[in-house]
Structure 1
Amino acid sequence: MSQTREFCPRCGNEVEERSEPLPGAPRERDEVLCNACYFEDFDLVDAPDRVTVRVCANCGAVHRGNRWVDVGARDYTDIAVDAVSEALGVHLKARDVAWAVEPEQVDQNTIRMHCQFSGVVRGTYVEEEVVVPVYISRETCQRCGRIAGGYYASEIQVRAEGRTPTPDEQSRAVDIAESFVAKREEAGDRNAFITESKEVDDGTDIKLSTNQLGQAVATRITRELGGNVESYPTLVTEDSDGNEVYRVTYAVRLPQYTPGTIIDPEDDEGPVLVRSVRGNLKGIRLTTGDRYEAQFEEGEAPDARELGSVDDAVETTVVTVEDDHAVQVLDPETFQSKTIARPSYFDPDAETVPVLRSRAGLHILPDDAVDSE
């Protein structure tokens, strides 16, 4: 049986025998061409005239798809390579494709990509080189734009009951906010940022980017420093879909007493060194060294008068140990020997001890008085 000879419809030359398509499958138009005519119009690579990479001039984020992504790149050469590789298209008929790229930095905002491709088409090895300019478009991402514009959706007001928060409390509140926001950023949340934190006359105000962030930070502040939080939403606008947008103020109220404060509860059992105000107030009796814990209903502020703090303590001399319940020390004001209560944490071999002199009398403090539980 004789074979049917095929000829190229463009040049008339005989076409080399190739495998027939499957029964019922159409033959592609270019399949009837000879190799010479086929490769005359053949492009191994489909490349754009230019690729634009949008980057934030402030934080360095790169715009991909419909969002900004933090890439942490020192320069944008690798970013440009990725952008070009995504923009290039290789012919579907090519097999065993290999490619390499050599970037050329033209100026600060332009990188010229020299791309070499090779592959096998119709059993023929082909090569092609394309040059794609990559333009670095420096813009401002939405996040940086919001920060620059002072945008915030929630505000935490750190205050204290009957007093002004201590500098340590205010500093710690800001540290808690910064630490939590940093973790959210590391997790890829680009909506998480602190707009501003500032000290005011009666505490510290912290402005945050989202309501969820404000609630989470306020909760963590009270969890560590004690107190409670209340929220006050304010309607500020409507979004493009007509949904109401609220700005929420989280009022954090720290406890009246702080660790290191000495109070005299109304139970007539002697002063207490406050150790913790988480949940309810806990401490240690200065007369006995016994553990003290306020009743549940009293919470963080049992009925008591404040006598001072560990910062008011002074070192004085131990004169003699009288018995298991009494010790004699020098009064730091009168320099006279005075017998006072001997708490269980007192070291009988100690030559000096820290004491607090207050209207409740003279009391020995633990050496680790400022340590929490």
Structure 2
Amino acid sequence: MSDSESREFCPRCGDPVPTRAEPLPGEPRDRDRRLCDACYFDDFDLVDAPDRIEVLVCSGCGAVQRGNRWVDVDARDYTDVAIDEVSEALGVHVDARDVTWAVDPEQVDETTIRMHCQFTGVVRQTPLEESVVVPVKISRGTCDRCGRIAGGYYASTVQVRATDRTPTPEERSRAVEIAESHVADKEGDGDREAFVTEVKETDDGPNVKLSTNGLGEEVSRRITRELGGDVESFPTLVTEDGDGNEVYRVTYAVRLPKFTPGDIIDPEDDDGPVLVTSVTGNLKGVRLATGDDYEEPFEGDTPGHRLATRDDAVETTVVTVEDDHAVQILDPETYAAKTVPRPDFFDPDAETTPVVKTRAGLHVLPE
């Protein structure tokens, strides 16, 4: 077979071109495959780049608008945002192989960045280079999320209260920390609907307004799981959405337990005072007279009343250990020697011990 018989001819210029293999069934057909290299590269663009890119960035959170969505981007400044947007907008020819590219941003002014992009690739065994310049205009706006925050939008309120008392400063701060930490975790997972609208302190306890009802339920459950107590929900119909569905705003009433760890209580069961050690799940503690463990479920109104707290304890002198069930100590008020029950947790070699004096008597406390 002669050389001319093994060649085809370019339909544009008439020069001979090598015969190229037909694509396999199902593969795309290249309409330019019969062109010679010279004619092919006359109309060839290695890179398809827009004349200009406009980027809308939220001035509140830094999210970038892409289509109808706001997307959080992990960018240090607007140059990083511009690089990301140019990367998304540029297209490289499908026939190019071994493509590499680099970008050199030029800050024109505060809101304009000129992106100098350099590309290399191989097409038809021919190394190619191409440079494009894409201006990026940065505009500032407000995303839906920041707009809702600024407008005070909320869907649920978590009210933290306590039974027959007000929450302690530690309980107040911890409840707010739990709410803010949970929302931060949601935000970290990409949930743009999650935010804390407002934290308001009242005499009875904090009120935390949250963006969704789901957040309110999750936060209230987390608070009771750590601090004890229970939750009741109270929905209120506020409107209907565009589809006619009812929209509710829900108040989650967190009721912390009647007692807190460190309280010294009288359970009113004639077995003496109890030092409360935990209120998570059941009420747990230790009997001050014996050192025995104490545990009772929370059922409705928890029986008993508070006698004192561990903060009321004072250190006093151990006079003598009388036997396995009694120890003699100095009354911290009268300094008279007094015999009191010796609990299991008492150290018989101790020279001093913490005690608390209440209307139920004088009792030794654990160290």
Please, what TM-score do these two structures have when normalized by structure 2? 0.89
Structure 1 pair 142–329 and aligned structure 2 pair: CA distance change class (3 A): same
Which residue is 1:223 aligned to?
A: 225
- State how 1:54-133 maps to structure 2 within 5 Å: 54-121=56-123, 124-133=126-135
8 Å CA contact 1:255–1:300 kept in 2: the answer is: no
What's the CA shift for 1:306? 2.0
Which residue is 2:321 aligned to?
A: 321
The residue type equivalent to 1:351 in the other structure is E
Structure 1 pair 344–95 and aligned structure 2 pair: CA distance change class (3 A): closer
Which residue is 2:340 aligned to?
A: 340
Deviates more, 1:119-128 or 1:186-195: 119-128
8 Å CA contact 2:322–2:328 kept in 1: the answer is: yes
Deviates more, 1:233-242 or 1:66-75: 66-75
What's the CA shift for 1:144? 1.6
Which residue is 1:232 aligned to?
A: 234
Which residue is 2:195 aligned to?
A: 193
Q: Structure 1 CA distance, aligned partners of 2:269 and 2:125?
A: 98
Q: Structure 2 CA distance, aligned partners of 1:344 and 1:61?
A: 61
Which residue is 1:361 aligned to?
A: 361
The residue type equivalent to 1:99 in the other structure is W
- State how 1:263-342 maps to structure 2 within 5 Å: 263-294=265-296, 296=297, 299=299, 302-342=302-342
Q: Structure 2 CA distance, aligned partners of 1:259 and 1:286?
A: 14
The residue type equivalent to 1:350 in the other structure is A
Q: Structure 2 CA distance, aligned partners of 1:359 and 1:63?
A: 67
Q: Structure 2 CA distance, aligned partners of 1:125 and 1:284?
A: 82
Structure 1 pair 219–31 and aligned structure 2 pair: CA distance change class (3 A): closer
What's the CA shift for 1:31? 6.3
Q: Structure 2 CA distance, aligned partners of 1:35 and 1:235?
A: 71
Gaps of 5+ in 1: 368-373
Gaps of 5+ in 2: none
Which residue is 1:202 aligned to?
A: 204
Q: Structure 2 CA distance, aligned partners of 1:75 and 1:230?
A: 45
What's the CA shift for 1:208? 1.0
Deviation readout 1:226-257 (Å, 9 max, x if unpaired):
11100001111222222221111000011111
8 Å CA contact 1:47–1:132 kept in 2: the answer is: yes
Q: Structure 1 CA distance, aligned partners of 2:237 and 2:148?
A: 19
8 Å CA contact 1:117–1:128 kept in 2: the answer is: yes
The residue type equivalent to 1:259 in the other structure is P
Q: Structure 1 CA distance, aligned partners of 2:150 and 2:29?
A: 60
The residue type equivalent to 1:188 in the other structure is G
Q: Structure 1 CA distance, aligned partners of 2:115 and 2:287?
A: 76
Structure 1 pair 249–30 and aligned structure 2 pair: CA distance change class (3 A): same
Q: Structure 1 CA distance, aligned partners of 2:320 and 2:34?
A: 115
Deviates more, 1:82-91 or 1:106-115: 82-91
**RMSD of aligned residue pairs (Cα, Å):** 2.7
8 Å CA contact 2:17–2:35 kept in 1: the answer is: no
Structure 1 pair 36–187 and aligned structure 2 pair: CA distance change class (3 A): closer
Identity %: 71
Number of equivalent positions = 363
- State how 1:241-252 maps to structure 2 within 5 Å: 241-252=243-254
Deviates more, 1:72-81 or 1:214-223: 72-81
Q: Structure 2 CA distance, aligned partners of 1:292 and 1:120?
A: 79
What's the CA shift for 1:81? 2.2
Structure 1 pair 331–99 and aligned structure 2 pair: CA distance change class (3 A): closer
Q: Structure 2 CA distance, aligned partners of 1:91 and 1:304?
A: 80
Deviation readout 1:307-355 (Å, 9 max, x if unpaired):
1111111221112211111111111222211111111111112122111
Classify the secondary structure of the residue corresponding to 1:257: coil
Please, what TM-score do these two structures have when normalized by structure 1? 0.87
Classify the secondary structure of the residue corresponding to 2:82: helix
